[in-house]
Amino acid sequence: MQKAYLILENGTIFEGQSFGASGEAIGEIVFTTSMTGYVETLTDPSYYGQIVVQTFPLIGNYGVMSEDVQSSKIQVKAYIVREWCQEPSNFRCEGDLDTFLKQNNIIGLCGIDTRQLTRIVREYGVMNGKIVAEGFGFSFDDLKNYTIVDAVKNTTCDKEYTLPAEGEKKRKVVLYDFGTKISIAKQLTARGCEVVVVPAHTKIERVFELQPDGIMLSNGPGDPAENVEIIAELKKLIGKNIPTFAICLGHQLYALAHGAKTEKLKYGHRGANQPVTDTETGRVYISSQNHGYAVINDSLGDYAKVSFVNANDGTCEGIKYLKEKAFSVQFHPEACGGPKDPGFLFDRFMDMIDADKKGV
């Protein structure tokens, strides 16, 4: 195996081995604590522009399967693991991790101390990193100047399309694609929804023309405040009383449309084992999360209240809008974080739509 190096913005250098595609890659270094779900991680558009580090030491042992992919391609800039398995064993396996990375031209790095790397990111915060293979030169200038821009623009769909409901069509939902995971649409179609997916910069007037029973605002990558035009469109949705459910970036964008503020977290929340507390019942759920920004709790006005908080740091994980038929969550209820995972939120959205159709 060829030697390769990870150079961090703070000057730290790790030596490891290259796998996947060869070459070099620059990105924002983030870590995820998930023990499984690496196929979903690699293909989640929310990781656009980032070099992802898996804290779990062995990755690739159950292979790659097309049923688990969340978009049309791998979205990460590069991938770092402690040890990768080239001989997977699972009845669903359709391929191996190394080949999957090569097919998507994604650079992998293994054989480094991912625990030490994670501790550095936790201590110093998210920083840029660069992976270079042995023999390649590198410069700290391009490393320090790297920023993620036009993230939503580069991950949203090109044109509007429709997904049919499974079985009888009961509802029609417009899904704003800010870099959506396929599993969000699957949760809706499985509940009898015809889903019309629209690009991120679709004018709200077009959404009204479609006459949806509900509107879904998807997850996505990047700094939410960067999306000024999208936020302006979502402001037009306020007061229309169309049942609305927002996840992750959609949650942040809808809050910004109301005048709330967001902040960048020191190292974000990424993993399938993040605890969130329901502020009304006190019940804690285990959730899947992938975000580097959060809505500032006390920036909400009297139009809304915080419905979920992160049990580790108290940051906003959900909002209930008091004067609208709308709610949002920062985490991913479609990702099945546990046996009692918050998938019920999609049922809550269906109940909201059905009540609205009855005029309740």
Nearest C-alpha neighbor of 16 from the set 31, 4, 2: 4
Q: Quick check: helix, strand or coil at residue 82?
A: coil
CB-based burial label for 303 (10 Å; 0-12, 13-18, 19+): middle
CA atoms in the 13 A half-sphere facing the CB of 199? 11
Q: Is 336 a catalytic residue?
A: no
What is the token pair recorded at 72?
């049309």
Q: Is 334 a catalytic residue?
A: yes
Q: Is 291 a catalytic residue?
A: no
CA–CA separation, 195 vs 212, rounded Å?
A: 9
CA atoms in the 13 A half-sphere facing the CB of 90? 14
Q: Quick check: helix, strand or coil at residue 209?
A: helix
Give the C-alpha distances (Å, rounded to integers) separating 192 from 149, 164, 306, 342, 347. Answer: 36, 9, 29, 19, 11
Q: Quick check: helix, strand or coil at residue 257?
A: helix
Catalytic residue, candidates 110, 248, 317, 324: 248
CA–CA separation, 300 vs 283, rounded Å?
A: 23
What is the token pair recorded at 171?
């509802």
C-beta neighbour count of 67 within 10 angstroms: 8
Catalytic residue, candidates 194, 317, 324, 334: 334
| Cβ burial 136-153 (10 Å sphere, 16+ → b, else e) | eeeeeeebeebebeebbb
Catalytic residue, candidates 251, 269, 291, 332: 332
Residues identified as active-site: 248, 332, 334
